[in-house]
Structure 1
Amino acid sequence: MIKTVLVIEDDLITMYLNKMVLESSSFCDNIVEATNGEEALSYFENIEKGDIPMDNLPEVILLDLNMPVMDGWEFFETYLQKFPEFAKKTKIFILSSSTNHEDQERVQKDPNIAAFLSKPLDEEVHFNIINSSFNKQ
């Protein structure tokens, strides 16, 4: 079972729905929420400083792409650069409604991204994809 999932999503209704799906399925023990990339990076900085226990390092990140302050791609690039050791232990899934062909191509080409998942979060379809990515290790 997944211990911690970090959901990076700016839309509060979508965040609420994601949380409901994760909780109702008992998919994980702990859900961490960030409304933009900067908040998410701050979370990892707090883990690195020891303010948040290392066992709260997310195994899964569900990352929206289109967000204010710092979008998903900016977060992704900064995360890989600042926290390479964390990135090795975390699987990143893009969870987006983006229909931009370039976003989907980028996901397919980047080995640091496990998969592109189309919103809304779907317990049956998406959890199978996420779980199967752990079975490939």
Structure 2
Amino acid sequence: MNTLRQSMTSVVDWVLLVDDDEIQNFIHQRIIRKYVQESQILVATNGQEGLKILQELIESKANLQRGIIFLDINMPIMNGFQFLELYQLEFAGQFKNTTLYPLSSSDDIKDVIQMNQLGIEHYIVKPLTHEFATSLFA
């Protein structure tokens, strides 16, 4: 099992969940742990915390090569759209091989369109499924 898990972890270096829903974070972490080590999973409960974690990754000289960000839209303090705008302005250049996936309970077409206008193609309605995770990590 360790050999299999080690080979799977080569797909990404880190995963950031940005979501204020603790239950969803717990569920999503359980799914993601099937593909990456627990130490590679970072969690923020709002966009501001998410940006702070990204800044800490940069400052700690962590391996920034391959990451995935799962981003909720409706959160307190800083929502997903605000996070994405600041991410694109301040961080995207340093996280060139990072893919961002909106992972939201909202299935409002306006949210999907707004994400598309911000350059995000893939939009996932919660919850993250094992099938989608397999397509990302395996």
Q: Give TM class, smaller chain.
A: 0.7 to 0.9
Q: 1:36 to 1:57 in 2, by over 3 A?
A: farther
Task: Work out the CA distance in 1 between the residues paired with 2:30 and 2:72.
Answer: 17
Q: 1:13 to 1:121 in 2, by over 3 A?
A: same
Among all aligned residue pairs of Structure 1 and Structure 2, give the percentage whose two residues are the same amino acid: 29
5+ long unaligned stretches in structure 2: 1-10
Task: Work out the CA distance in 1 between the residues paired with 2:105 and 2:121.
Answer: 17
Secondary structure at the counterpart of residue 13 of structure 2? strand
Q: 1:47 to 1:104 in 2, by over 3 A?
A: same
Cα shift readout 1:3-44 (whole Å, capped 9, x = no counterpart): 210000101111111101111x2x223100000001011112
How many residues are treated as equivalent by the alignment? Answer: 126
- Is the CA contact (8 Å cut-off) linking 1:6 and 1:31 kept in structure 2? yes
1:72 aligns with 2:80: yes
Structure 1 residue 97: deviation in Å?
A: 1.0
More strand by share: 1
Structure 1 residue 79: deviation in Å?
A: 0.8
5+ long unaligned stretches in structure 1: 133-137
The amino acid of 1:99's aligned partner reads: D
Structure 1 segments, 4+ long, off by >6 Å, are none
- Is the CA contact (8 Å cut-off) linking 1:37 and 1:75 kept in structure 2? yes
Secondary structure at the counterpart of residue 20 of structure 2? coil
Secondary structure at the counterpart of residue 124 of structure 2? strand
| Partner of residue 108, structure 2 | 100
Q: 1:41 to 1:94 in 2, by over 3 A?
A: same
Q: 1:88 to 1:56 in 2, by over 3 A?
A: closer
1:86 aligns with 2:94: yes
Higher relative contact order (CA 8 A, sep 6+): 2
CA RMSD of aligned residues (A): 2.0
